Structure formats: structure tokens, C-alpha cells
Amino acid sequence: MLKQLNQQDLFRLLEQLAISFQLLVPQTLVDGTRGLLPWNGSQTSMSGEPLQRKPTALFFPQTDHLVHLGSDGMAATPAGSDKPLALCGLNREDLAGIAFIDRFFAAQPADDIYLKKRTAALIIGLTGYVGREQQFQPLAEGQCDFELIADQQHWLAVAYTESGKHWLADYPDGPEDVLQLLRETSRGIASQHEQAVKRASRLLQAEQVPDSFWEEISARCIRCGGCNFACPTCTCFCVQDRKTINGIERSRIWDSCQLDAFMREASGHNPMGTELLRTRRRIHHKLVDDPQRWGETGCILCGRCDRACPTGIGMFAICDEIVSRFDR
Amino acid sequence: MKATLTTCPYCGTGCNFYLLSDAAGQLTGIEPAGKHSASRGQLCLKGWNAHAFVHHSDRLTSPLIKQNGKFHPCDWDSALTTIHQRLKQIANSYGPDSLMFFSSAKVSNEENYLLMKLARAGFGTNNIDHCARLCHSSTVTGLVETLGSGAMTNSLSCFDATDLVFVIGSNTTEQHPLIGSRILLAQQRGTKLIVADSRKIRLTEHADLHLRHQNGSDVALINGMMRQILLDGMENREFIAQRTENIEALRQSLVPFSPEYVARITGLEDQQIITAARAYAQARSAMIVYAMGITQHSHGVDNVRALSNLALLTGNLGRPGTGINPLRGQNNVQGACDMGALPDVYSGYQKVADTKSRLKFSQAWEKALPENPGMMATQAIEAAAAGKIRGMLILGENPMLSEANQTLVKQALNNLDFLAVIDIFPTETAQFADLVLPAACYAERDGTFTSTERRVQRGRKGIDPPGQAWPDWQILCALLQRCGIKADYNSPADVMDEIAKLTPSYAGIDYTRLENGEGLQWPCPDSQHPGTPILHREQCTRGKGHFSPTNYRPPKELPDATYPLLLSTGRTAVHWHTGSMTRRSHLLDREEPGAFAEINPEDARSLNIRERQRINVSSRRGEIQVKAKLTDRVPPGQVFIPFHFAKGAANVLTNNALDPESGIPEFKVCAVRVTPC
């Protein structure tokens, strides 16, 4: 289904969505970055730099209350929100991130806390001329309920699910030829980072990267955990139990495999007790294990770890370094 | 779902992040501010977890009064009236100077200002101080004397514009991670890096030169470098002639510090000292970065003087990429000093002994003010132990774990007639209190904080405080009013307006300006002034830069036959000070769940100690049990113990030998004995 919306249509659509969903749209935050926040009926920031926070955090938050165990022996799960989430404004990489962790949390045994939020949610992609200074952003062509594509004058809307079709049903059909042109533009964009990540992945799988490299890289790690916390495909968590007035609350919180305690044994021995081992393992997971398991890397090319790393050893930086040194 | 931009509550770097909260008013996470000049979309591990302690069940939620040795909840009115009456009674019986007020580098500028007003105008004493006494009091004394201003001279952006960074006594990647990372990035770009530290810290792996000098030998090292610079004729003669005074006295004082003599004291090789001197002097622009490794000595002020002399000698001052850059530890330790939470100055370092300043504050506050400088925090502990301080109000500090020689602190707190503590958690210090008041934490109140680069920034309320907890500024206003002092501020913004009127360096700062930007670096003398990223540009704050010669004095207590190892104390990357916040943050506490001592494998072997074995560490002041961590991070003969832990508290061991000028204890050097448990 292809539709065409003008600016008024878009606002009408958002108004309609806000009745059924807790609608989050991109907005400019105080410091000038963009983030997904509840729509207030008027403000949106539909174009600009990528969203600062990974959207996967809305389904798998940094602190996620799981269950409250009352002193009376009763267990209660959090009530949850009245309305399901609708996330508007995700680019191709953000959508890939959600799709990646969907697969993880949906795998048996399924994670019902995650799925409860996720399955009821509506996901809206946002691509086309919506980058910084209206730069073109590649089309998603899936991985969402519907995709809003900005051409130079209108919004094209492509539905991929029944839900997506339902919400777009009232709007006029869009021009197929314009969509085709946008698709061609999108496919013509060569991602330099994508090439480097794929080549680095192949080199790692072929065991072409020696430990001395990881020693160098890990010597620059300051153990902030930012690479994990910023990564949309990182799903590791630990469990925290806390006393409340009338029982204990169990939550899961984001973990980081760059931390020493991540794999430390109760004895105190740590099979991953150095930054070298941990850094190598983290990158191997994304670029060696994930391709073997899922047929794709665990890096969805969003660049967040490169932005979050204070010392310049994010995924793109590491892959560039691997390629420049070991790709013969 | 809400995102509230605020300033990180941990170190003095001044990172900003968003507090993320849900509809129920619970914090759900942290997101670094992507375009903020200090954080740049990045945070350290503590920053990423800065929400984690806020909803901990240990939070204080009601005023507590101690009766028959047990705390019972009470109402705010009677709690505030009790504090006021008890402190007044003590002041009436023994004089106002029998009271002591501990302010905090964890509360806002406005709150520090209000507490110093309460001490001075409300109770008539200048006995107010805070934990800067334990960290950078040596800096304030040393740099005010030589340059006229006790703050970091340059800005964080200068790390992007320097040819050489000389880090001495600062484990920057662990203690100021977002500054340490700038140093690492600069080094990757080709900036030279010299690190002087007895421990093999992360920066030393990247340093062009690692000077592993003996703890406490800094003056000898720096004097040795200066002597060499003069010998080589590498001093900046033009700068010295135009912008400094007292060079001849410095020159004379350096005569004995030959490389051979300095090598004997520091344990370095002659050539290392010469190489360091030449590299520093030859750089077009060089930054000195230092922290507690310089200040926490019985000769901390001399260490600072020596560094100031070194920068002046080479003209590394007043330009981008240069300067003397003390890294302030807490998110508002700079501000707490600026606000006059110190015994000798009002806000803006206006001296209480100066009649004109005193009159100005006296008129503004409509109260006669005491003229004699008050007592330092470290002296106050000794005075309380001796029965001379009888009443104390402690706001957001935990001296039981943070001050040197815990036995003495315990004696001091036990000795008080009355102790009131305002805090967010029932700290080790609060256990000694007669009355405890529950405060809002950083995420629950508005205010401003001043970072290490003198940047005044907003802290913003994201959620409501728990139970009956109040923001500190409201508690202090209620106490001021009970003292008959006008305190009808509607918000911290009103307090800042009063600060600006009375404090020349903050005169141009108001909330409207801060709301529209990311902060203003003082001095900011008027409402149009853009702030001052670099101090001492045309001339030093005091006029001419003053060379202040220093002589080498060894630490007060060095290893001997009975206590053969040198103990150095400090922090780790994971925890914060006395652990009241980080030890209640799951991920952080899991990373380092208990006290440990770093010990060199050579020493461990000779003492028959294995990895993770429990050991006794004893000094002349006490004994603790900790786990051994065998590592060559510490040199043979030295152990390092962080002071974050109540069990295995490093400050049971430390020596409360004070620098005679700054009153800072010698946390970095004392003698200990280690035995297997």
C-alpha cells in the first residue's frame, strides 16, 4: 500500500494515533540533540541528526521492573501503560536494531515482559530527505508497520503490516514512480561503514587479527560501558532485587560485558579478567558469532558506540583499524 | 515519560545528561547530552548509572530524632526547632565558635551560600568548611599566592590544542574519565604525554615518559626540572620579565636540586628528570594537570607552588593549551569554595577579615558578622575530640569515612553535645547524630553547580523527592528564618540573584542566561559578559605571577622497621568517595563489592600472601582487614587502598598530619604493616 500525505495529513495521522497509542515523536531536546518524546500535539523534529538514544530502550529500558514480591507472599507484575507505544521517526538502522532484538527476546523461552510492550506497539519508519539539513536517508523498505518517506514536497507512506494499512487507509494513494525513484536513490548510497564492518567481520572470522591488536585497542578502554549501553543490539542484563516498604522489587538492568564483574565467578576468578579479553570478546560476538547464528553482524551500523566512546574505539573505528592493518 | 537535562552528581568534569523518568515519577535511565561541551554524548560508568541509587530503599524519608540511642521519626517543625534551639544553646553557653558547620561539595552553589550565611549571620561564627579541605585546599592556598586565583586556569577544550600534557598525581582516566579520555585522544593525535605517578595507571601505558617517583617527592622532582630548564636556558625570559616577580629567589632556591640529588630523593634516574624538563620546556604549549597526588600531603601547598613556578618559568599560562589545571574532584567542590563555604572567605573569596567585605555582607544580611577567620574542617575534628567544638551541623558529608584517622573522628563525633546531619542516606556519620534530616538528592531539586573548568551550570529537578525529604535549600531557609534572618526565596534562582549581587565573579550569572546555554565560566562580571575560558591572559589575577620558592620536606610518616610499607589511598573508577551513592548502585557495587589493597607481587611473595587472600593492614592508628590484589600497578614497597568502604575503611589507617597552611591531611603517605589473616 502506497499513500501520499501532506503536512496537514501527517498531523491528522499523528492526532489519530495519539488517541489509541502513547505516541512518541522525534523532538529537539534542550542540548540540541533529538529524542523520542510524547507528542504534545504540535512539536516534532522530523528531520535532523539520528536520534540520540537507541529506540530499543523503549522496549528494553535501562531499568525494567519485572515483579514485586510482597511480604504477604503475593507476586505482582507492573501494571504497564494504559496505551501501547507508537514510535514515530525511526531510521533504517533503528528499525534494524528493533528487529534484531525482537528475534532475541521472541526466541523460546520468549521474554513476556518485552513482548507485552513490543507486540502491541506500532512502529513507524522515517526515511528519505529527513537527515541533517534534509540529507537523504536510506529507505527501510520493511521492519516497521509503515514507513514515512520524505520526498522534496510530500510524505509518501508505505504500509508493511495490516496495522500499518489500517492507519493509512484514509489517505490518498501515492505515486509509484516517485517511490521507485526514491528506492533507486536509496540503493545507490554506498555505506563506507558497512563495507568496513563486513570486511572486518570476515577478517575476524578468518582469525586474521592477532591479540596484539586487541591489547592496543583495550589499552584505550576506560571501562565506561558506553559501547554496550548505547548499542541497540546489546541485550545483556543483570537482575537487581531491592527492598520496598512491603516486599522486594525485582528489576532487570542493563549490563555491560566490558565490566569485570560480568563474567566473574563467585570464587573471584574471572575467565574474562582483562580488558583485552573483554574487548575482543565483545567485538567477536557482534562480528563473528552473530553472523554464524543469524547470518548478519550484530552491528546495525547506527554509529552510536562510536559517538558514546570517549576514547575513539567504537565499532566503526575498530573496524577501520582492522581493515587498514590486516586486509591484504 | 520525561527527559530532564541536568549536571552529573559525581566528579567535577561537569558532564550533562538527561534523567529519564516514567509517568510514575520513577527514574528509568540516563542518556548523555549529545551536544554538551564536556560530555559530548559520552559518560563514564558512574554517569551512566547516576540514576541507580535514587530510589534505593535506604533513602531517608522523614526527619529522625535519637531517643535512648534509637532513631524515631518526627515532624519537620519540631526537628528544625530542635536544631535551632540546641545550636543556639551551645552558642550561648560556650560562644558561637564552639559550633562547626560542614557544608558539602555535593550540594548546589545556592545551598552552599545559604549554609555559609546560616553559620555567619545565623549563628555568628566563621566555623564553616567542607570537603575541599580534604582535596584541593592546598591548591587554593598555593595558586592564590602565586597567581591570585585558586581555580583551574584553562578549559577542557584546551586539551584539543596543546602540544604536551604533564599529568602529575592524577589518575585522570579513572577519576575524571571524560577528561582522561581527552588526554588519551590528544596523545593519539601526537600530543606528548608525561605522567608522574608511582602507580602504573592507564595513562602511563600511553605516556612518552612515565616518572615513577616516590610518593611525596614531588617538590624535589619539579624543582629538579626547573633547575635543569634554567641550566639549559630554556626558560621563557620574556614572560618572566614582563609578567612575573621574584625569579632570583626561585633561582637561588633551585641550586641544590641537581639531577643526582633529585634522583636520590625520587628514586628516578638522572636522565628521566632531564628529559622531562626539556620536553616540558620545549613544548610550544604545555598543560599541567594534577589532583590529589599533589595536594594530599603535609607539604601539599609546596607541591602546588612548585607546579605554579614551573608554569610561570616557561610562560605556560594565559594561552590556549597551557596552564595549571587542578582537576576538582566533586561536581560542586569548585562552587562550594566559590560560595565561601570556607572559614576565611565569603563568596567570591572575599575575606572575612577584610572590613570592607564584612561590611558589605553585613549590610546585605542585616546582621553583624564575626571578623576572625573560622576553623578548618580538619582542625574542627581535632577540636571536637578535645571538647572545644560542642555542636555541629553536617550537610551532605560523611567524615566518618572521609577524614583521616577514623578513631579520632569517632572520638570527635561522640564527644559532641549535639550533632545534626542532613543527608540522603543514613551514612556512617549520621549514626552519631542526635537529629537527621532527609534531603532531596540531585535528581530531585534545582540549583547550579560549578565544574572544574569554572563552568556554572544548571542542575534540574527531574522527579519529586521521596517521602517527606526536602531540598537542602528549603531546609536551610527554614533554619535561617528561625535565626531571624530573612530567607524568603521562592526558588534557587532567587538565591543566585543575591549571590550575583554580592559576588563580583558571579555578578553576570542568572538563571535566565543559564537556561539558554550550557553554562558560564567565571569570572563573569556582568550580564553581557560571555564568561572566561582562560584565566591570567594579559596578567595574572594578582597582577604579576609570583615565584614562590619551595624546599623539599619529606612526608611526616615514612615506612620503618615496624611499619615497612608505604600506604597511599585514593579512589577507583567505579566508586564514589564514601560509597553512600555508588555502593547502593547495583552495577557499580557488583563491580567492586568490597575493600581491597593493591600490593606488588614481590611484597606479596615475601609476606606469603596470595591473590584475593584476606590480609590485615595496620598503621600506628588502627587496623583493617581487606582482600589482597596482587598487581604491579603499585611499586614494591607500596600498597594502595581505596577509601570507599565502611568495612575495611582506609581512613582507619591514614595519618591526620596536616599541611600547616592548608590543613589538608597526608592521605597519600603513611606507614603500614601487612600480614596474612
Asked if residue B548 is part of any domain, the answer here is: no
CA R_g for chain A: 21
**How many domains does chain B fold into?**
4
Contact flag A224-B43 (C-beta cutoff 8 Å): yes
- Nine cell digits for residue B414: 561522640
Pair (B159, B266) in one structural domain = yes
- From the list A37, A220, A261, the residue facing B184 with the nearest CB is A220
For residue B251, what is the DSSP state? H
Asked if residue B603 is part of any domain, the answer here is: yes
Tens of pLDDT, residue by residue over A192-208, are: 899 999 999 999 999 99
Pair (B353, B476) in one structural domain = yes
Asked if residue B549 is part of any domain, the answer here is: no
Q: For residues A20 and A120, what is the distance between their CA atoms, to the nearest angstrom?
A: 11
pLDDT score at A153: 85
**pLDDT band (50, 70, 90) for residue B451:** very high
Query: Does pLDDT of B108 surpass 80?
Result: yes
Pair (B68, B15) in one structural domain = no
- From the list A63, A224, A268, the residue facing B45 with the nearest CB is A224
DSSP structure string for B273-323: HHHHHHHHHHSSSEEEEE-HHHHSSTTHHHHHHHHHHHHHHHT-SSSTT-S
Pair (B335, B210) in one structural domain = no
∠ CA A293-A297-A300, rounded to 5°:
135
User: In which domain, by residue range, is B610 found?
Assistant: 565-676
Q: For residues B557 and B550, what is the distance between their CA atoms, to the nearest angstrom?
A: 20
**Which H or E run includes B98?**
none
* Average pLDDT of the segment spanning B551-580: 97
pLDDT score at A43: 81
Q: In terms of DSSP bridges, do strands B455-459 and B520-521 run parallel, antiparallel, or are they unpaired?
A: antiparallel
To the nearest whole Å, the CA of B30 is away from the closest chain A CA by: 8
Contact flag B184-A222 (C-beta cutoff 8 Å): yes
> Please, is A239 exposed, middle or buried when counting C-beta atoms within 10 Å of its C-beta (0-12, 13-18, 19+)?
exposed
Q: For residues B272 and B499, what is the distance between their CA atoms, to the nearest angstrom?
A: 48
Collect all residues of chain B within an 8 Å Cβ-Cβ radius of residue A52: 31-32, 34, 41
Contact flag B45-A62 (C-beta cutoff 8 Å): no
B38 SS3 class = coil
Q: For residues B294 and B168, what is the distance between their CA atoms, to the nearest angstrom?
A: 7
Q: What is the 3-state secondary structure (H, E, C) of B383-404?
A: HHHCCCCCEEEEECCCHHHHCC
Q: What is the CATH number of the domain that holds B27?
A: 2.20.25.90
Of B327, B343, B378, the domain-final residue: B327
- Nine cell digits for residue B628: 589482597
Pair (B322, B372) in one structural domain = no
pLDDT score at B518: 76
The type of residue at B332 is N
To the nearest whole Å, the CA of A204 is away from the closest chain B CA by: 24
DSSP structure string for A202-267: HHHHTT-S-HHHHHHHHTT-----HHHHH-TT---EEEEEEEETTEEEEEEEE--TTSGGGS--TT
- Nine cell digits for residue A255: 549490563
Contact flag B44-A222 (C-beta cutoff 8 Å): yes
* Average pLDDT of the segment spanning B534-561: 97
pLDDT score at A252: 97
Query: Does pLDDT of B368 surpass 90?
Result: yes
B156: nearest Cα among B25, B30, B282, B16: B16
Q: A79-88, A139-148, A157-166, B616-625 — which is least confidently predicted?
A: A79-88
Pair (B341, B490) in one structural domain = yes
**Which H or E run includes B61?**
none
∠ CA B559-B289-B599, rounded to 5°:
30
Collect all residues of chain A within an 8 Å Cβ-Cβ radius of residue B182: 310
Contact flag A253-B612 (C-beta cutoff 8 Å): no
Q: For residues B133 and A179, what is the distance between their CA atoms, to the nearest angstrom?
A: 67
Contact flag A310-B181 (C-beta cutoff 8 Å): yes
The type of residue at B498 is E
Of B327, B347, B376, the domain-final residue: B327
- From the list A35, A229, A242, the residue facing B56 with the nearest CB is A242
Q: For residues B244 and A165, what is the distance between their CA atoms, to the nearest angstrom?
A: 77
- From the list B29, B33, B205, the residue facing A62 with the nearest CB is B29
Pair (B299, B366) in one structural domain = no
Asked if residue B400 is part of any domain, the answer here is: yes
Q: For residues A261 and A258, what is the distance between their CA atoms, to the nearest angstrom?
A: 9
Of B312, B327, B342, the domain-final residue: B327
Query: Does pLDDT of A322 surpass 90?
Result: yes
Asked if residue B369 is part of any domain, the answer here is: yes
- Nine cell digits for residue A27: 523532538
**Sequence-distant (≥ 6) Cβ neighbours of residue B494 within 8 angstroms:** none
Tens of pLDDT, residue by residue over B235-279, are: 999 999 999 999 999 999 999 999 999 999 999 999 999 999 999
pLDDT over 70 for what percent of chain A? 100
* Average pLDDT of the segment spanning B516-524: 88
- Nine cell digits for residue B499: 549571590
Pair (B297, B350) in one structural domain = no
Tens of pLDDT, residue by residue over B601-630, are: 999 999 999 999 999 999 999 999 999 999
Q: For residues B628 and B613, what is the distance between their CA atoms, to the nearest angstrom?
A: 5
Pair (B111, B167) in one structural domain = no
Q: For residues B480 and B486, what is the distance between their CA atoms, to the nearest angstrom?
A: 7
pLDDT score at B516: 73
> Please, is B273 exposed, middle or buried when counting C-beta atoms within 10 Å of its C-beta (0-12, 13-18, 19+)?
buried
pLDDT score at A152: 82
Q: In terms of DSSP bridges, do strands B596-599 and B622-630 run parallel, antiparallel, or are they unpaired?
A: parallel
pLDDT score at B82: 98
State yes or no: ipTM above 0.90. yes
Phi, psi (degrees; rounded to nearest 5) at A252: -110, 145
Average pLDDT, chain B: 97
Q: What is the CATH number of the domain that holds B623?
A: 2.40.40.20
To the nearest whole Å, the CA of A214 is away from the closest chain B CA by: 14
Tens of pLDDT, residue by residue over A126-147, are: 999 999 999 999 999 999 999 9
Asked if residue B557 is part of any domain, the answer here is: no
Q: A82-86, B233-237, B357-361, B633-637 — which is least confidently predicted?
A: A82-86
Asked if residue B547 is part of any domain, the answer here is: no
- Nine cell digits for residue A275: 580488558
**pLDDT band (50, 70, 90) for residue A78:** confident
For residue A123, what is the DSSP state? E
Contact flag A242-B573 (C-beta cutoff 8 Å): no
To the nearest whole Å, the CA of A265 is away from the closest chain B CA by: 12
To the nearest whole Å, the CA of A11 is away from the closest chain B CA by: 21
- Domains of chain A by residue range: 2-61+77-188, 193-326
pLDDT score at A81: 80
- Nine cell digits for residue A305: 558506540
Pair (B105, B74) in one structural domain = yes
Pair (B407, B474) in one structural domain = yes
pLDDT score at B355: 97
Neighbours of A152 (CB within 10 A): 8
Asked if residue B266 is part of any domain, the answer here is: yes
* Average pLDDT of the segment spanning A43-67: 95
pLDDT over 70 for what percent of chain B? 100
A107 SS3 class = coil
Tens of pLDDT, residue by residue over B283-305, are: 999 999 999 999 999 999 999 99
Neighbours of B362 (CB within 10 A): 16
B116: nearest Cα among B348, B434, B463: B348
**pLDDT band (50, 70, 90) for residue B1:** confident
Pair (B125, B190) in one structural domain = no
